[in-house]
Structure 1
Amino acid sequence: MRQILLLVALCTAALLPKQGAAQSFPVEIDHIYGSARIEARPERVVSLSFIGHDFLLSLGVVPVALRKWYGPHAFGVWPWAQEALGSGTPVVMQGEIDIEAIAALEPDLIVGQWSGMTRREYALLSQIAPTVAPAPGAGDYSISWQQMLLRLGEATGHATTAQSIIARLDQRLADLRAAHPEWQGATGIMVWAGTTGAYTGHDIRGKFLGDLGFVIPPAIQQRSSLDLAYFKVPDEDLSPIDADVLIWLDSGASVDRLNRLPLRRFMRANLEGREIYSDLMLSAALSHSSPLSISYALDRLVPLLEQAMDGDPATEVTSSRTAGILTGGPADDS
């Protein structure tokens, strides 16, 4: 009997997917400029994406070089990804893509989703190492976090890990949608407070709201395209961003501007207390929308969304009140 049970167990194990099984190479990944053929699991990855290093770190891949976006943190890595960086010391690049500097790093893979890479830059980079440019049909900055992670997982030999991360986060998002039916189909928008710049449903921030069940206001979505995931709303007409919930993203210096913004006091989002102020850290987490930053963002944002969407204008959105962003009534003239 014991031998029979052991045989059954062995047969069952053989039928189950092998978690963490080695991924076979070569792999080919299509992109807007053609296809990248990666012959073997890469050891020296250069990330040209403004947010891609977050995704690589979530897969356990520490790039030899990364492109810093913004922020005061070492190596351009924000706190939610510091543990994944560990003792890694990647070369930090900033600004334009430097072909010669990248060649000197001797990479065996270059990844450039969310990078603004031009065709000419791709032609030069692909002579150095296999280069993964933005995905077909997604635009430079319009890829979803799930698709971006899957592509990086396949390119680096961590496809199974990528799928597991996506399944876990997608389940958390599904649970949040189920727990908040009032969010489903409500309009929501993220707006950069420094310029009143709205992010559309093609942008990673708009997609994040979509994952929670919100929809982009029609006036914004009608103006968007794969090549226009963000555009400035004129201060004299804020109606396109007057959504059921309005999230102001800030770099830490726009509170005074918001309180002086013409016509903001007449917006329904303001009068009904449906504005959420997102400070530097939360704004950065939402702007990266990586597997490592999403959990942090949800922990902080969900309680604020619940306050904004409870149907009671008297309920204060704590982040907005703490920052001095006046909601739930006309702003002072002082």
Structure 2
Amino acid sequence: MNRLARPAGRRGTTRVLLAAAACLALVTGCAGSDGSDTPDTPGGKNSSEASGAFPVKLDNAWGTTEVTKKPVRVATVSDGDTDIALALGVVPVITPDVEDGGPVPEYKQRAIDKLGAKKLKTYDDTDGTDYEAVMAEAPDVILGMNTWAMDADYAKLAPVAPVVTYTDKNHADTLTWQDRLLTAAKALGMTDKAKQVIADSEKALKDAAAAHPELKGKTYTYAVVHPEQITFMSYSDQDAGVFEQLGLRKTDKAKKYDAKKNAISLENLDELEADVLLVTYPFGDEGLLSAAELEGNKLFRSLDVVKRGNFAVIPSKNSLSSAMAYPDALTSPWVTEKLTPILADAVAGR
């Protein structure tokens, strides 16, 4: 399991992680692509696309998109697509207002500042995509690689501008962030840039692992406190993701759990035992338990991993837990940057 797409309208960390009980995507995503959306390499059958030449034709689940010339005005209909544009160095002409007027996540603000844009122009996505707002910006292309709403949106967006989206409706959940990035980059004539973004993300992980050899071989458990349950997220067939790319490994207890069977009862908190325990509270006081309630629980406090101090909380307020669950081209290196010191401190018992 590799990749979950972020919803088109993301209402903070709470909404983003609603699906995480069923699937946690760490940095590489929530199920591998079947390859049908993976752009061909230069010299392949679509070498003109790979080289940035136009026109570019891309099949999708609703038809065919043709981009006749290099786009200048790019609109996005999901937060993940906004991140794709920013990662490629493009400031969208309009995006959904997923922050609802709240603070922009650090990783996104960094990109905006780097590109010299004071803030992004947004539309209210409370009721979904605002087609009129998108049309008013006269985009050359619309990125929709990360939305679950394309089945309803495509017919209304296609007359506005070429829509770049996935070739199979199931890919809303299954494409890796790398595949999404490369497909969008084809339409923008920026395949080389996309490959560099991927290489930089991989290098960040390798460098972090090399800098922290103490992580290698340590077992870990990652749990999320949802409203209905405490969820054992690091189950056996879960994607290795960032934790294991940094050297950690799953516990033997992980074999008891899968995407459909992942609830931990308060009587079985000892299932969380590991060399390192990581917990996040994306729903705050609306979760099954508050942080104070869980961390004050007698059985929880009796766990060896807690008594040793090898326990850490993954912050949700700064979007880290959300970015871990829904990785993309912009968040992946930031997750590595922010998560690595948390893991290092947990291993050290700090």
Q: 1:257 to 1:180 in 2, by over 3 A?
A: same
Segment drifting more, 170-179 vs 190-199: 190-199
- Computing the radius of gyration from Cα coordinates, the structure with the larger value is 1
1:24 Cα shift?
0.7
Partner of 1:209: 243
Partner of 2:293: 260
Partner of 1:159: 191
Unaligned runs of 5+ in 1: 1-20, 317-334
Structure 1 residue 249 corresponds to structure 2 residue 276: no
Counterparts of 2:201 and 2:156 in 1: how far apart (Å)?
Answer: 36
Partner of 1:293: 331
Q: 1:144 to 1:68 in 2, by over 3 A?
A: farther
Counterparts of 1:294 and 1:219 in 2: how far apart (Å)?
Answer: 24
Structure 1 residue 223 corresponds to structure 2 residue 254: no
Structure 1 residue 127 corresponds to structure 2 residue 196: no
Counterparts of 2:171 and 2:221 in 1: how far apart (Å)?
Answer: 20
Q: Is the 8 A contact 1:188 1:243 kept in 2?
A: yes
Q: How does 1:273-284 map to 2 (within 5 A)?
A: 273-279=309-315, 280-281=317-318, 282-284=320-322
| Post-superposition CA distance 1:58-95 (Å, at most 9, x none) | 21111111123337226998433331352254223323
What secondary structure sits across from 2:95 in the alignment? Answer: strand
What secondary structure sits across from 2:139 in the alignment? Answer: coil
Q: Is the 8 A contact 1:187 1:216 kept in 2?
A: yes
Partner of 2:342: 304
Q: Percent identity?
A: 26
Q: How does 1:1-334 map to 2 (within 5 A)?
A: 23-70=52-99, 72-73=102-103, 78-87=108-117, 89-95=120-126, 96-134=128-166, 136=168, 139-180=171-212, 183-184=215-216, 187-188=219-220, 190-193=222-225, 195=227, 196-197=230-231, 207-214=241-248, 219=254, 223-224=258-259, 237-238=268-269, 242=273, 244-250=275-281, 253=284, 257-261=290-294, 263-267=299-303, 269-279=305-315, 280-281=317-318, 282-287=320-325, 289-310=327-348, 315-316=349-350
Letter in 2 for 1:122: Y
Letter in 1 for 2:290: R
| Post-superposition CA distance 1:255-285 (Å, at most 9, x none) | 9812212553355543443332233223355
1:41 Cα shift?
1.6
Counterparts of 1:137 and 1:211 in 2: how far apart (Å)?
Answer: 29
What secondary structure sits across from 2:209 in the alignment? Answer: helix
- Alignment length (residue pairs): 288
Task: Provide the TM-score with structure 1 as the length reference.
Answer: 0.67
Letter in 1 for 2:309: G
Q: 1:61 to 1:200 in 2, by over 3 A?
A: farther
Partner of 1:326: none
Q: Is the 8 A contact 1:186 1:215 kept in 2?
A: yes
Q: Which has the higher contact order (CA 8 A, sep 6+)?
A: 2
Q: Is the 8 A contact 2:143 2:163 kept in 1?
A: yes
1:162 Cα shift?
1.2
Task: Provide the TM-score with structure 2 as the length reference.
Answer: 0.65
Q: Is the 8 A contact 2:107 2:331 kept in 1?
A: no
Letter in 1 for 2:279: W
RMSD value, Cα: 4.1
Counterparts of 2:310 and 2:62 in 1: how far apart (Å)?
Answer: 43
What secondary structure sits across from 2:79 in the alignment? Answer: coil
Counterparts of 2:219 and 2:142 in 1: how far apart (Å)?
Answer: 38
Segment drifting more, 207-216 vs 61-70: 207-216
